A and B are shown apart, each in its own frame.
Chain A
């Protein structure tokens, strides 16, 4: 910085500059020597008198006292010289032959005064520039100290020249300890690639960014995001490097943690995929291999029953009936279990559809079960739903046929399908009946696989329907729950995220 300030001063005072043209420069040398020679010859001719001390006095006066002091010194020199050394002595008489001495005094005075005035001006300029520079530097370093970034400056031999407060805070070394040290050794820098390459790129582009590892005063390592900028002088020669470092140790640790978590996750999902595949193979095998022997048992039993029917008594016929009933029930269980497992495996194909329309379809599907029944249906306005239509249809069919089943004992069954107008982001749909209900203390058993709250001879079923409902709704990021009172009916609720605005039909 000092260098550039000097350059600035030199520029604004052209008289201090050396003559540009070589003719002038060397001419000046020849001229000054010629003048000196001429002077010397003149002095010899004039029989030199001792004037050196007076000239010295004038020079001192001019140098330290300024032009006016020089003029006074000149006058005094004239008078004293004339009075004491010029014949006739002790008079102020001046003969013609003495005049050149007085002219010499005057010329010398003018020359020294001119020199000293120029010097003084330069001196003042320099002082001012220096003061300005000091202010600037202190302002800048205090600004650099304000930032939390770690900033230091190193010269081209890697010696640290400046060290801000951020650097002190991060590395634990004071500026006094750090300045003058070779930065890469001092901080035990670990570079991401060989330093030569970095240096080459840096000198070419003037910038470099990368991650470095530094060792702090307490011996611990920090990872910093480092930015280097190169400063060049007027002649484009690199002079120093400004290095700004940000501590990213914590961030790096997080990144590493996230990375390892991601790897773990990828591993898990691969495992899960494998398990899913196995499960699929298992389900397929259940579907095919488990049903076959069951079918054989049932078929041969039926054939046997047919052949022996004439010789069978009532009890034996009953036994056959029970065997066949059990086989059929197991067939249904396998089918339902497979359907349940398929819902877990199947991809959801989501579209926006009307629940009102879907409820109507579900009602058509269960029409057979309502034969001979007296049911008052109450179907409210249902919203649009964003999800897998065929899965949701299964949900409604399950809930509605449950409601039909458990209102069987009512002379007037009431079944309501409606929607709770919640202010939340979820839509809530319910199916309510006035059937036999259930005891709330068993509510958590309702949605489990094979869980039944009624004896199987009272209400048929495999115990998978509500588990299927729950699984489907869970796959739609929703919830299912139920409220019931023994002998006073039950309400089954499902909630799911409302369709987003952009999915709505135009």
Chain B
């Protein structure tokens, strides 16, 4: 199976980070995951600021974004990415606990590429991550300039 390129995982809950990484490992889907613990860090990574000053130039091939984040929340991050020419093409998947209609609507209005509600069942969660990986790694053609190994 092709590997998904570099993933930017924006998630504040360490348990969710661990579980997502475990799920990705389960199917050997990613060998490089950047974790941003809040919206600000995610933006710092994209703009190569702060602790990500020296990151490589290519963009992540997909971004997994939680909505409820400290400092800058997920919808704000999404808004900034989609209004910036050089980041607009990065596929963004909202991965969240919320299945509130208003969140779904707001995300799609801002141009999200997919909206996934984290299932309670870990098995289903792993499946969801796997399907995401397969889609973004195999089916989807990433925009030029993405990190794909």
Q: Does A480 contact B (CB under 8 A)?
A: no
User: Which stretch in A2-10, A79-87, A284-292 binds the other chain?
Assistant: A284-292
Q: CB distance B122 to A288 under 8 Å?
A: no
User: Which stretch in A127-135, A253-261, A298-306 binds the other chain?
Assistant: A298-306
Closest beta carbon of chain B to A57's beta carbon, Å: 120
Q: Does B2 contact A (CB under 8 A)?
A: no
Partner of A298, one of B67, B98, B101, B121: B121
Partner of B98, one of A288, A295, A301: A288
Partner of A287, one of B100, B120, B121, B125: B100
User: How would residues 11 to 25 of chain B score, 1 for a CB under 8 Å from any chain A CB and 0 otherwise?
Assistant: 001011001001000
A291 CA / B123 CA spacing, docked (Å): 16
Q: CB distance B98 to A284 under 8 Å?
A: yes
Q: CB distance A287 to B122 under 8 Å?
A: no
Q: CB distance B97 to A296 under 8 Å?
A: no
Q: Does A149 contact B (CB under 8 A)?
A: no
A303 CA / B126 CA spacing, docked (Å): 11
Given the interface contacts A292-B13, A292-B16, A299-B19, does A328 sit within 8 Å of B121 by beta carbon?
yes
Q: Does A335 contact B (CB under 8 A)?
A: yes
- The closest CB in chain B to the CB of A297 belongs to B120
Q: CB distance B101 to A296 under 8 Å?
A: no
Q: CB distance A298 to B122 under 8 Å?
A: yes
User: How would residues 262 to 295 of chain A score, 1 for a CB under 8 Å from any chain B CB and 0 otherwise?
Assistant: 0000000000000000000001100111011011
Q: Does B82 contact A (CB under 8 A)?
A: no
A198 CA / B101 CA spacing, docked (Å): 61
Residues of chain A within 8 A (CB-CB) of B119 are: 295, 331
Closest beta carbon of chain A to B123's beta carbon, Å: 6
Q: CB distance B98 to A287 under 8 Å?
A: yes
Residues of chain B within 8 A (CB-CB) of A292 are: 13, 16, 97
Q: CB distance A288 to B15 under 8 Å?
A: no
A338 CA / B22 CA spacing, docked (Å): 29
Residues of chain A within 8 A (CB-CB) of B125 are: 295, 299
Residues of chain A within 8 A (CB-CB) of B28 are: none
Residues of chain B within 8 A (CB-CB) of A338 are: 99-100
Q: Does B6 contact A (CB under 8 A)?
A: no
Q: Does B96 contact A (CB under 8 A)?
A: yes
Q: CB distance A288 to B97 under 8 Å?
A: yes
A455 CA / B1 CA spacing, docked (Å): 47
Residues of chain A within 8 A (CB-CB) of B122 are: 295, 298-303
A69 CA / B15 CA spacing, docked (Å): 139
Closest beta carbon of chain A to B43's beta carbon, Å: 22
Listed residue (B13, B16, B118, B121) with the most chain A CB atoms within 10 angstroms of its CB: B121
User: How would residues 316 to 346 of chain A score, 1 for a CB under 8 Å from any chain B CB and 0 otherwise?
Assistant: 0000000010011011000100100010000
Q: CB distance B123 to A295 under 8 Å?
A: no
Partner of A296, one of B15, B67, B98, B99: B15
Closest beta carbon of chain A to B96's beta carbon, Å: 7
Residues of chain A within 8 A (CB-CB) of B19 are: 295-296, 299-300
User: How would residues 121 to 133 of chain B score, 1 for a CB under 8 Å from any chain A CB and 0 otherwise?
Assistant: 1110100000000
- The closest CB in chain B to the CB of A329 belongs to B120
Residues of chain B within 8 A (CB-CB) of A284 are: 98, 100
A130 CA / B121 CA spacing, docked (Å): 108
Closest beta carbon of chain A to B95's beta carbon, Å: 12
Docked complex: B22-75 residues within 8 A CB-CB of A: 22, 67-68
A291 CA / B125 CA spacing, docked (Å): 13
Residues of chain B within 8 A (CB-CB) of A324 are: 121
Partner of B120, one of A283, A288, A289, A331: A331
Residues of chain B within 8 A (CB-CB) of A331 are: 119-121
Q: CB distance A295 to B99 under 8 Å?
A: no
Q: CB distance B121 to A291 under 8 Å?
A: no
Given the interface contacts A287-B97, A291-B97, does A296 sit within 8 Å of B16 by beta carbon?
yes
A42 CA / B21 CA spacing, docked (Å): 154
A331 CA / B98 CA spacing, docked (Å): 12
Given the interface contacts A284-B98, A298-B120, does A303 sit within 8 Å of B68 by beta carbon?
no
Closest beta carbon of chain A to B112's beta carbon, Å: 17
A295 CA / B122 CA spacing, docked (Å): 7
Closest beta carbon of chain A to B11's beta carbon, Å: 11
Q: CB distance B99 to A287 under 8 Å?
A: yes
- The closest CB in chain A to the CB of B118 belongs to A295
Q: CB distance B13 to A303 under 8 Å?
A: no
A302 CA / B96 CA spacing, docked (Å): 20
Other A-B pairs beyond A287-B97, A295-B120, 7, CB < 8 Å: A295-B122, A298-B120, A299-B125, A327-B121, A330-B120, A338-B100, A342-B101
A-B contact pairs, 10 of them (CB 8 A): A287-B99, A288-B67, A288-B96, A292-B16, A294-B120, A295-B119, A298-B122, A299-B125, A300-B15, A330-B120
Nearest 5 Cβ contacts at the A-B interface: A331-B120, A299-B122, A302-B122, A291-B97, A296-B15
